[in-house]
Structure formats: C-alpha cells, structure tokens
Amino acid sequence: MRQAVAQGAESASQAPTTRPDDPLSGAKALDDTRAEPAPNEVSSRLLKGRGWVALRLGLDLLLLLLAVGAALVGAPAAVEDHGTLLIWLLPPGVITVFAARRLYGGAFHVRLVDGLGEVVAASSLVAISLIALGAFLDPDAQPAQMIARAWLFATAYLIGGRLLLSWAQRRARCNLLVGKPTLVVGAGQVGAQVERRLMEQPELGLRVVGYLDADPPPREHVPFRSAPVLGCLDDLAEVVDRTGAEHVVLAFTSSPDRVLIPLVRECEDRKVEVTLVPRLFESVNVHVAVEHVGGLPLLGLRSVDLKGWQFAVKHGIDRGLGALLLTLLSPLLLAIALAIRLTSPGPAVFRQRRIGRDGREFDLLKFRSMRARSAGEPSLAKPVALAEDTAPGGVEGQDRRTAVGALIRKTSLDELPQLSNVVVGDMSLVGPRPERPEFAEVFGRRVMRYGDRHRVKSGVTGWAQVNGLRGKTSVADRVEWDNYYIENWSLSLDLKILLMTLAAPFYNAE
C-alpha cells in the first residue's frame, strides 16, 4: 500500500501546478505558524535537547548512588566484608556503558516499555565485569554477593526512573508543552502521510508547521495534507528562521538528490535535525544491515523467515503460555461463564468463522455478550455496510448487549476464550487480529497488501491494537501496522506487545 502511495506522490509531484494551491501560503502562512502558542520554557529546557540528556544522566547517577547505599545499609556482615569498594565502581561503569550504547540519545518513541531491556543488559554487563575484576585482583575474595545486591537495587531504581521520565516526557509532548517545529520536504502523498502520522502520535514530539516543495501537487490530489506549503527548497533558511523549525523530514519530491544534499548540509550548519523516508521504505525493517563500498552505503534488506525455526519457537511458546494462562485464569473464566448463563438464556461461549494464516478459516471463540434474537426480530443476512476504509467492530445493528456482555466487552474479557484457539494452534498470542470471511474478501479487494497480514497466525492481541487501532478504525492503517509487525518480528517485540496490552488501561489513561 505504502509503495503505491509513494509512487503516487512521485507522479503527482511531477504534475505542472502552482504553489498557491494551499489556502495558507506565503507570508500569511508563516505568520500563522509563528502565532501558535509557544511550549513551556521550563519544560522545553528539561524535556528535550541537552536538558533532557542532562536530566536523565543526573537522575541515573543519583539512582545508582542510592542503589549502592541501599546495598551497603542492609548487607549482612559476612557479605559486607567483600566487594564494598568495588560496588562504588558500579555507578560510573553503568553511566559509561549507557553513554557508549547511546542510551542518552534523543529517540522519537517514548513508549513506557522501550529501552528497559537495554537498561537491564547494561547494568548486568557492568556487574559481571566487576565480579570478574574482583576475582582477578583477589582470588580469595567473594565480592559477588555484594555486587549482586547493588546490581539488583540499581536495576530496579533505573527502571523506575526511566519509566517516570518517559511518562513525564510523553505527557508533556501530548499536551504540547514540549515539541519540535518540523518541516516536511515534499508535499506529495508520502509527505502528507508523514504529517498525518505525526499528528496522530503527538508523543513523538514533532509538530509539522509546513512543507517545502518547489512543485507541490494540488490540494485535491493530497486530501490528508493540512499544513501549508511555505516555500521551495531554496527558502529553507528563511522558513527555519521564521518558524523556528528544529527538525526536517525529507519525504519524496521531484527535486534531484544533488539539490537535497546542500539542504542537508545547511540543516547541519543550523543545528536542525534531519530524518528521511528512504526509497523502497516498505522493505526496510529493523534487520537492515548497512555496508560501505568505498563511500557508497549499501542497505542489506533482510526479511524474516516466516516458516523458519524462530516461528516454530514462537508457536511453541504460544501454546505453552496459552495453556498456563488458561489454567491460572480458569476461576475467572468459570465465573464469567456462570454470570452469562444466569443473566441471559443461551450458551456462554459462541463461535464465529474467521480467516487465519494462509487464508484458512477457523472458529474463533468468544464469551457471548448479546442476548438471542427475539422471534420477530430481523437478522443480519448480510454484513453491515462499512465506509470505504473502516473496519467492523462495536455494535452492529440493534444493540442486544446484556449488562454482563457490555462489561466484558469494555474490559476485553470476552476475548479470553481465544486462549483455547492458541492452545490448539489456530491462533497466536500476538499477531494481526483475524477478520470474518465476508469482510476479508471485501478488504482484500479494497486495501492494497491486505492479504499480506495472513502470512502469520492471527493473534489475541497485536501491534495495531496496542497502538489504538481497535473497533471501527482505518483498515489501511491496521494493515500498515500489522505488516510492520510481520516484517520486524522478534520475540522481544512480542514481549513488548504483551506488556503494552497489560498496561493498556494505564497507558491509554494519559
């Protein structure tokens, strides 16, 4: 889908048009971008740029020193004799490893679960190194217990501190207290998609103030573009000065690369951050490798083997964890089933045909949340009509939800029987949500790359769902997120999605 969008942007941008296609253009548009309320000055200093780096570094150092103190205060006498001096090397060692691994860099994403694995890995590396150093300096000493105590406190404190700071920065960005005014180079389809994504995710901290494009396509060709076209590439210096832009995104334009290279150099001179949307971006995933032939970088595109041993391990973990969860949650499942049976006639669980891996149909299980139709009540012979790019969900037709059904739907407890689908192998714990056959057929015709999501097993939860794409939301957006998950799959990504699913009630409360 995105490849077609990109191609559309290229062809549209070549059409002979004039820049005044935007209602906001020229000086008026520039004045309007400057008229927006400025972010809070204190928040800007602390939660972005060098202030953000200094804040995290200072908090990490403080927490590490507190961790060493906690390890010393509660240590038994036998443990305190060894490793007391070595554990004071833990704070500078961890800070050094964090800096070497660029954990103080300015990443866009500030999800609460991001970076926690790196924190644990870095602190563990330093602790193991100190234990080895102690054994080398004094073979008779046993510093492991004291260092292990300090490591345990340090890891817990660092994770807590990172969660707190990530939450604070995310809230500040979402409330527009901090953010970076951003220019998009290229006002075509891809540039508009960049703007829409940044608007949908204010927690990234990039606020699009306008476009630079010498030959932008007309507004009617790019319906999702809302920011004004402020000038052409030669106007970069003036536009940056007047808008205060701190970030530039290079999307697709009709301008040749030889024109873009001086623009990047000018951004570097002005300390303006630059990111770009690469060609063939649909094939670029987290497994890409960069090689250099002389001064020429080559990107090695490495796809995930969906039939390989890694997915066999994933499916084995799914079944084992699914069986464990069914056992642990059996009292809750029984209580829900009894509540459904006692409050409305009919079975507690119902089956619904869905499309899974490789287009195979299976029966998805759910707790029944609706009462049975009355004798004179018409049934839905055909699926409800949907907008061009809207997924089904919620209440279809007459609202027949019971009181218990409304509760279990709101809390997603109606999905718990799908753990049985996981155990028998029809589904996975994490994957694209399965769709009914009649809708899958329609979406397969309407939405490009919709069928690609059937390359893996469907999931009880998924990357699209934890990013807010549930119910009656855009099918094209779901396809984009689902295919991202497939192309960038790893066990760590599955773990992140499961953690985000468990944290969803608190995460979305922001």
| Most confident option among 13-17, 231-235, 254-258, 288-292 | 231-235
Which is nearest to 128 in space by CA: 176, 93, 179? 93
Q: Any idea what DSSP says for residue 150?
A: H
262 plus 129 within the same structural domain: no
- The pLDDT value given to residue 506: 56
Q: Containing H/E element for 209?
A: strand 206-212
* Residue spans of alpha helices (H) in 257-358: 257-269, 309-328, 330-343
Contact predicate 284/301, CB 8 Å: yes
- How many angstroms separate the Cα of 453 from the Cα of each of 17, 147, 301? 38, 47, 20
Specify if 498 maps to a domain.
Answer: yes
346 plus 403 within the same structural domain: yes
Which is nearest to 227 in space by CA: 21, 40, 37, 39? 21
3-class secondary structure, 292 = strand
- Is pLDDT of 27 > 50? no
- The pLDDT value given to residue 390: 65
First-last CA distance in the chain: 31
Q: How far apart are CA 38 and CA 180, in angstroms?
A: 11
Say which range, 180-184, 211-215, 274-278, 466-470, has the weakest mean pLDDT.
Answer: 466-470
- The DSSP secondary structure of 366-407, one letter per residue, reads EE--BPPPPTTPPP-SSPPP--TTB---S--SS--B-HHHHH
Q: How do residues 207-262 score in pLDDT, each as one tens digit?
A: 999 999 988 888 888 888 999 999 998 899 999 999 999 999 999 887 887 888 88
149 plus 77 within the same structural domain: yes
- The DSSP secondary structure of 92-121, one letter per residue, reads HHHHHHHHHTTTTS--S---TTTTHHHHHH
Specify if 105 maps to a domain.
Answer: yes
157 plus 184 within the same structural domain: no
- How many angstroms separate the Cα of 58 from the Cα of each of 53, 326, 423? 8, 44, 47
- The pLDDT value given to residue 4: 40
> Average model confidence (pLDDT) for the chain?
81
Percent of the chain with pLDDT over 90: 36
The length of the chain, given as a count of residues: 510
Q: How do residues 32-63 score in pLDDT, each as one tens digit?
A: 444 444 455 666 677 777 888 888 899 999 99
148 plus 251 within the same structural domain: no
Question: Backbone dihedral region of 31: left (phi > 0), alpha (psi from -120 to 50 degrees) or beta?
Answer: alpha
Burial 317-349 (b: 16+ CB within 10 A, else e): ebbeebeebbeeeeeebeebbebbeeebeeebb
For strands 247-250 and 273-276, give the pairing. Answer: parallel
- Domain boundary among the residues 249, 283, 317 is at 283
Specify if 304 maps to a domain.
Answer: no
Task: Determine the average pLDDT of the residues in 185-198.
Answer: 90
Give the pLDDT band (50/70/90) at residue 140: confident
Q: How far apart are CA 126 and CA 148, in angstroms?
A: 11
Specify if 389 maps to a domain.
Answer: no
Q: Which domain holds residue 229?
A: 2-36+179-283
Give the pLDDT band (50/70/90) at residue 145: confident
For strands 180-185 and 289-293, give the pairing. Answer: unpaired
- The pLDDT value given to residue 107: 62
- The pLDDT value given to residue 26: 44
Specify if 94 maps to a domain.
Answer: yes
| Most confident option among 22-36, 277-291, 368-382 | 277-291
499 plus 352 within the same structural domain: yes
Give the pLDDT band (50/70/90) at residue 106: low
- Domain boundary among the residues 174, 193, 209 is at 174
- Number of domains present in the structure of the chain: 3
Q: How far apart are CA 304 and CA 340, in angstroms?
A: 42
Q: How far apart are CA 246 and CA 508, in angstroms?
A: 28
Contact predicate 233/212, CB 8 Å: yes
- Domain boundary among the residues 283, 299, 328 is at 283
412 plus 278 within the same structural domain: no
Contact predicate 271/244, CB 8 Å: no
3-class secondary structure, 218 = coil
Q: How do residues 334-392 score in pLDDT, each as one tens digit?
A: 999 999 999 988 899 999 999 999 999 999 999 998 877 655 555 544 555 555 566 66
Which amino acid is it at 72?
L
Tokens of 339: 């509540």
Tokens of 281: 């971006």
Which amino acid is it at 434?
P
364 plus 471 within the same structural domain: yes
Task: Determine the average pLDDT of the residues in 417-423.
Answer: 95
Question: Backbone dihedral region of 485: left (phi > 0), alpha (psi from -120 to 50 degrees) or beta?
Answer: alpha
361 plus 461 within the same structural domain: yes
Q: What is the largest CA-CA distance in the chain?
A: 87
| CATH number of domain containing 231 | 3.40.50.1980
409 plus 424 within the same structural domain: yes
Q: How do residues 60-75 score in pLDDT, each as one tens digit?
A: 999 999 999 998 887 6
- Is pLDDT of 396 > 60? no
Tokens of 404: 């218990």
Strands (E), 141-267: 180-185, 206-212, 229-231, 247-250
Which is nearest to 188 in space by CA: 208, 214, 154, 157? 214
411 plus 495 within the same structural domain: yes
Tokens of 364: 């998805």
Give the pLDDT band (50/70/90) at residue 14: very low
162 plus 236 within the same structural domain: no
- How many angstroms separate the Cα of 190 from the Cα of each of 42, 203, 225, 288, 336? 34, 21, 10, 21, 47
Q: How far apart are CA 474 and CA 388, in angstroms?
A: 9
Specify if 392 maps to a domain.
Answer: no
Specify if 111 maps to a domain.
Answer: yes
| This model's pTM is above 0.85 | no
Specify if 302 maps to a domain.
Answer: no
- Collect all residues with Cβ–Cβ distance below 8 Å to 386 and sequence separation of at least 6: 392, 439, 442
- The pLDDT value given to residue 13: 38
Give the pLDDT band (50/70/90) at residue 22: very low
- The pLDDT value given to residue 280: 80
Say which range, 253-262, 415-424, 427-436, has the weakest mean pLDDT.
Answer: 253-262
- In 10 A of CB 63, how many CB atoms? 21
